[in-house]
Structure 1
Amino acid sequence: MNSIICAKEVAETTNNRFEREVYEFLREWILNHEDRILLQFDQPVDEYLVNDALRDFFLNTQHPIQKLLTNPFIASHLGRCVESVYFDPISGDPLLAATEQRIYNLARRMDSQQMHVPFRSVHPNKQTEAGDTANISTYPPNSEEIRYNSGNHFTSRPANTNVFDENSKRCVAKSDGNLHVLFKRGFLEERLHDIKSLTAELHDSGETDLQFFVIYSRHSFEEGHFGTSLVVMDPATPDYPKRVMVCDTLLKDLPHHPRWWNHFIAEYSNVFGDAISEIVEDLSHPLQKVNIKGDDPFRHDWDCPYYAASMANALADLVKNNSILLLTGSVVDIHDAMKDLMEDYYHPNREIKTRAVIQQVNRLKRWKSGREVIMDLVSEMSNKARW
């Protein structure tokens, strides 16, 4: 990804127009729904618009996000391309209009995960009543754990299920023939049981070709870190893999095992027996920075969903284009072949990109994930309008 810079002045101008558009939208809503206004009390309309109208709108409107998106300018602004966003050069936080931030925060309070635009909101306990992001100075005494928290910044907020669904949709689309991409909610052990069952079914149906399974999953209920695996199965022996390679995301160099190695081994052993540890090979990529207490929270790296998706995509592409390498090649050769396909994180000479560049890549991916949620909602509304 190339460097993308939006001038701060341009972003501020666009944000100001967005503020005016939202206020006009709310002003019209007030005129047409006087019976639903709960929070105005004795405030003049202009003051009410600034303080509480948006929260009133969310509280008293069915599908408030969808209603907002019926306004073309509001929809365009919330779903704008990353090139139109100014990011703080230090924290990486996008410059958002106050009402835009309030929209994301209020949407976060809703029961529907679909309305939760990833990375653009703070947890409800870090919001003011109106939906603004509370200043850390207003946190209660003895709240260091809340103050020191990655969730306060766009670049280090954990991903939600919308991001999982986005990555899943793209990667699963590569499944074809003897390539099976297992990109589901749940944990590694569940996916390994799926592999055994599916391989047995293929054997019973007369299949003889080797089967390649790319798995993207969390390790376990106790350990929620994402990882990727490639499991090669022979239908003639559905109870034991022909080859197993696993990929973690934390910084390390081959041949040293990553921090989550024991979790991989434990899950595989639970399904295939302890002997499986003898054939599990390490294809991990040193992409994710280890979070160190004392770092600024915005420097924390919670981007394992993107790293793991990149590795899963690379493995799926290798199955399609060079399965012989996956069957007979060395771990080093396969590792290098993955680097060639993971262009977001590696240079053409296979050197890993700098931490600053990787952070920028992930920042852009984060914004695009939110944009995809917005555009899906707009598309869904458009489809319903045609029915």
Structure 2
Amino acid sequence: MEQYTRLKQIAIASNHFFEQEIKRFLRLWVIRNEDQTLLRFDQTLEEYLANDALRDFFLNTAHPVQTLLENSRVAGHLARSIDQVFFDPINGDPLLAPSEQRIYNLARRMDSEQMHVPFRSVQPNKQTEAGDTADIASYPEDSEELRYNSGNHFTSRPANANVFDEHSKSCIAKSGGNLHVLYKRGFLEERLQEVKEITALLHEQSVTDLQFFVICSRHSEIEGHYGTSIVIMDPVNPDFPKRVMTCDTLLKELPQHPRWWNHFVAEYSNVFGNAIAEIIEDISHPLQKVNVKGDDPYRHDWNCPYYTSSTANALADLVNEVPELIINGTTKEIYDAMKASMTDYYEAFGEIRERDDIQLINRKKRWLSGIEMISNLVKEFGSHSLWFLNRYPQ
């Protein structure tokens, strides 16, 4: 308890210094850009700095997020390590500085999703004009869906495309030789068509080695859940897979198939014909809690992108390390080997970690995704925040 209290005090102090830095930053901006302070009206300078200056800065600056990140103190606070962040013991929300929350929320309003720091903002219709997060008590009386919504909390907000791109980049890096990682936006059927095209090309080139395709994508336009597959293709026979294993992550009673099974089968059948249903094998990992209406929204589990990333990386590692297992191993042998690789969600003896531990792991992953995106912005746009670049080198 004492450590908990101390962490909160440190977080409060850190937020206080951040507020001072933002106020100093905005004061200089106002002095240099008085013609752009459109929302000041009859406010005093101090009132304007407290209320609307940051919003004006976002409205009148070509690249507001990148400009803020050129300030090493601002960049350092937004990308601080998770052990410097205090999380509410009940709902898991991080204790953010008021201006910090405004930055995330105002960035969320920008046209480019590239500026949306994952999990740290609420939808624009849940914000005040200044960029604060609106109190739920201010929602219209008939807004049950807005009130009862996973998006109100850090731990349960759905991931945006930036998180998918982060995972895609790290997993695709494992490609090479006869391993093809197809970790792309879009849907499973598109990836399977790509598998056929690549294999047909290899057939024309007289390649005879087996090819391994690790796929991560949404199932279909009808069902947007993420899933992972591994497909073994023989270029000598490029029209039909040698082996197919699919991996879902939703909690289920083993050995039953996951609820999305029919979507897996349908997408494979669309590409390889109905006969494919006879060889599709299930290596699903029941990690994701089923969301039940009536649960507190912050208890909802929208961490599918992290679970699927873990399964995709595990499969890619197995192909690189023990391809014979992927070719000839039983589904149980492959399933157990994946668990040994997925140490973020499994204990050393192969049991799934306790639910509370998984929640803490996912919370850390969520915060790290924000750091990853912020560091990428600093590098991509050539920010002058040298301290930040030294801390997060390429």
Closer, same or farther in 2 for the Cα pair 1:85/1:103, shift >3 Å? same
Residue type at the aligned position of 1:208: T
Q: Distance in 2 between matches of 1:333 and 1:272?
A: 26
Distance 1:294 1:6 in 2: 34
Q: What amino acid is aligned across from residue 211 of structure 1 in structure 2?
A: Q
Q: Answer whether contact 1:183 1:217 (CA < 8 A) is retained.
A: yes
Secondary structure, aligned partner of 2:180: strand
Deviation at 1:174, TM superposition (A): 0.2
Which deviations, in whole Å up to 9, do the C-alpha atoms of 1:216-273 show, x marking residues without a partner?
0000011110000000000011110000000001012432101111100010011111
Equivalent-residue separation in structure 1 for 2:4 and 2:197 (angstroms): 46
Contact 2:70–2:385 under 8 Å retained in 1 = no
- Runs of 5+ consecutive residues of structure 1 not aligned to the other structure: none
Confirm or deny that 1:197 pairs with 2:197: yes
- The secondary structure found in structure 2 opposite 1:9 is helix
Aligned twin of 2:390: none
CA change 1:22–1:368 in 2 (3 A) is same
User: What amino acid is aligned across from residue 139 of structure 2 in structure 1?
Assistant: Y
> Is structure 2 residue 332 aligned with structure 1 residue 332?
yes
Task: Tell me the distance in 1 between the aligned counterparts of 2:173 and 2:246.
Answer: 21
Contact 2:71/2:385 (8 A) holds in 1:
no
CA distance in 1, matches of 2:86, 2:167: 25
- Taking structure 1 as reference, are residues 369 and 335 closer, same or farther at Cα in structure 2, changes over 3 Å only? same
Partner of 1:316: 316
Partner of 1:120: 120
What is the match of residue 347 of structure 1? 347
**Which residue of 2 is the match for residue 158 of structure 1?**
158
Is the deviation greater in 246-255 or in 376-385?
Answer: 376-385
The answer to whether the 8 Å contact 2:69/2:385 transfers is: no
Q: Give the drift of 1:71.
A: 1.0
Any idea what the Cα deviations from partners look like across 1:112-153, whole Å, max 9, x if unmatched? Answer: 111000100000000000000000000012110111000000
Aligned to 2:30: 30
Q: Does 1:297 find its partner at 2:297?
A: yes
**Residue in 1 aligned with 2:72?**
72
8 Å CA contact 1:185, 1:217 repeated in 2: yes
Distance 1:384 1:52, change over 3 A: closer
The 3-state SS of whatever aligns with 1:227 is strand
Q: Pairwise mapping of residues 187-336 of structure 1 onto structure 2 (< 5 A)?
A: 187-336=187-336
CA change 1:363–1:130 in 2 (3 A) is same
Letter in 2 for 1:340: A
Partners in 2 of 1:6 and 1:345 — Cα distance? Answer: 29
- For 1:305 and 1:223, the matched residues in 2 are separated by 15
| 1:90 to partner: Cα distance | 1.2
Q: Displacement, 1:70?
A: 1.3
User: What's the secondary structure of 1:382's corresponding residue?
Assistant: coil
CA distance in 1, matches of 2:288, 2:309: 13
Aligned AA (2:328): T
1:370 maps to which residue?
A: 370
Which digits, 9 at most, give the CA deviation of each residue in 1:161-210, with x for residues without a partner? 10011000000000010000001111000000000110010010010000
The equivalent residue for 1:40 is 40
Please tell me the residue identity of whatever aligns with 1:315: L
Distance change (3 Å), C-alpha of 1:220 and 1:210: same
Q: How far, CA to CA, are the matches of 1:176 and 1:70 in structure 2?
A: 37
**Alpha carbons of structure 1 residues 385 and 26: separation in structure 2 relative to 1, 3 Å:** closer
Deviation of residue 5 (structure 1)? 10
Q: Conserved in 2, the CA contact under 8 Å of 1:303 and 1:362?
A: yes
- Where does the alignment leave 5 or more consecutive residues of structure 2 unmatched? 387-394
Q: How far 1:364 sits from its partner (Å)?
A: 0.4
Pick closer, same or farther for the CA change 1:341–1:385 going to 2, 3 Å. closer
What is the CA-CA distance between 1:6 and the residue it aligns to? Answer: 7.4
Residue identity (%): 66
Task: Read off the aligned partner of 2:264 and give its amino acid letter.
Answer: F
Per the TM alignment, residue 381 of structure 1 is displaced from its structure 2 partner at its CA by 3.1
Q: C-alpha displacement at 1:380, in angstroms?
A: 2.1
Give the secondary-structure state (helix, strand or coil) at the position aligned to 1:29.
Answer: helix
Question: Residue 6 and residue 321 in structure 1: after superposition, are their counterparts in 2 closer, same or farther (change >3 A)?
Answer: farther
CA contact (8 A) 1:6 1:84 kept: no
8 Å CA contact 1:5–1:86 kept in 2: the answer is no
SS at match of 1:102: helix
Q: Which amino acid aligns with 1:204?
A: E
Q: Aligned pair in 2 of structure 1 residues 310, 4: CA closer, same or farther (>3 Å)?
A: farther
Aligned amino acid, residue 302 of structure 1: W
Q: How many residues align?
A: 384
Partner residue, 1:136: 136
Aligned mates of 1:322, 1:376 — CA distance in 2: 33
1:121 counterpart letter in structure 2? S
Deviations, residues 75-116 of structure 1 (Å, cap 9, x unaligned): 110111112111111111111000000000000000011100
Alpha-carbon distance in 2 for matches of 1:297, 1:111: 27
Q: Aligned AA for 1:323?
A: P
- Secondary structure class of the residue paired with 1:359: helix
TM-score, normalising length: structure 2? 0.95
CA distance in 1, matches of 2:225, 2:160: 13
- Per-residue Cα deviation, 1:24-77 (whole angstroms, up to 9, x for no partner): 000000001001111111111111111111001111111011111111100110
Query: SS of the counterpart of 1:353?
Result: coil
- Paired residues of 1:174 and 1:316 also in contact (CA < 8 A): yes
For 2:88, what is the secondary structure of its paired residue?
coil
CA distance in 2, matches of 1:276, 1:186: 21
